[in-house]
Amino acid sequence: MLKPEYVRLPRDYEIFAGGDTGTYMGGVIVALSPRLHLYILDEIANYRYTGDGSIELTGITVGQWMKKFSERMYFWTKKRKYAVIVDANTTFKTEIAYGMRFQMNKKSLDVRTAITQEYVRSGRLHYMPWLQITPFEMENCTYPEKESAGTGVLKRIKYKDHCWDGVEHICSVRPNPRTVEREQIPLKGPERMAHLLGMSVEIENLADPHLGRL
């Protein structure tokens, strides 16, 4: 099976991190390709799911979770400082450890959900085969049967979704590539989008039948 150690990301891929803080700490590390596809590379959590689907804490402290997150971010980026996109109501306002800082996402849950669904339905959100928690949470996302009478939207039910929250935070900011040299890309208009979507991408040619796709 494909393992993280075997993956070499092209230099023009951007890395983003998203998370959910609280009793259950979950987070993901995602790569953005120049063709605007998102690849969930890693998940960091202080919990796990048992055989019957019950959630349980693993005993990892907040500090240990941050340290593990930083180690995985360094593995993918070789950078010591980074931001994690989290909900604006997080209780961690100023705490920073191991180079981690929190970037507050003020978008509402229904907006985050709707944008993430765009990525899923367009086939632009993928997950790696070594992930265990994130695919389970994605498959168990729950929505009410009817739209809210007051808002007319379908809000995802918040349950067993801590790593998946991180995915939604990243999707909701609609990340764009920053590392591609400007002179290689038209500045605006349809030509810019055509250029981005037409670029060759090495990771998308990995011949692994186990590569997951949402």
Give 135-170 pLDDT, tens digit per residue: 999 888 776 666 655 566 666 767 788 999 999 999
pLDDT tens, position by position, 72-124? 999 999 999 999 999 988 877 666 789 999 999 999 888 898 899 899 889 99
* Residues ≥6 apart with Cβ < 8 Å to 197: 35, 36
Q: How confident is the model at residue 199 (pLDDT cuts 50, 70, 90)?
A: very low
Full-model pTM = 0.78
Q: Domains plus CATH for the chain?
A: 11-205 (3.30.420.280)
Q: Spell out the residues 6+ positions from residue 113 whose beta carbon is closer than 8 angstroms to its own.
A: 154, 155, 156, 168
* Residue predicted with more confidence, 104 or 203: 104
Tell me which long-range contacts 187-194 makes (C-beta under 8 A, separation of at least 24). Answer: none
Distance CA 181, CA 97 (A): 32
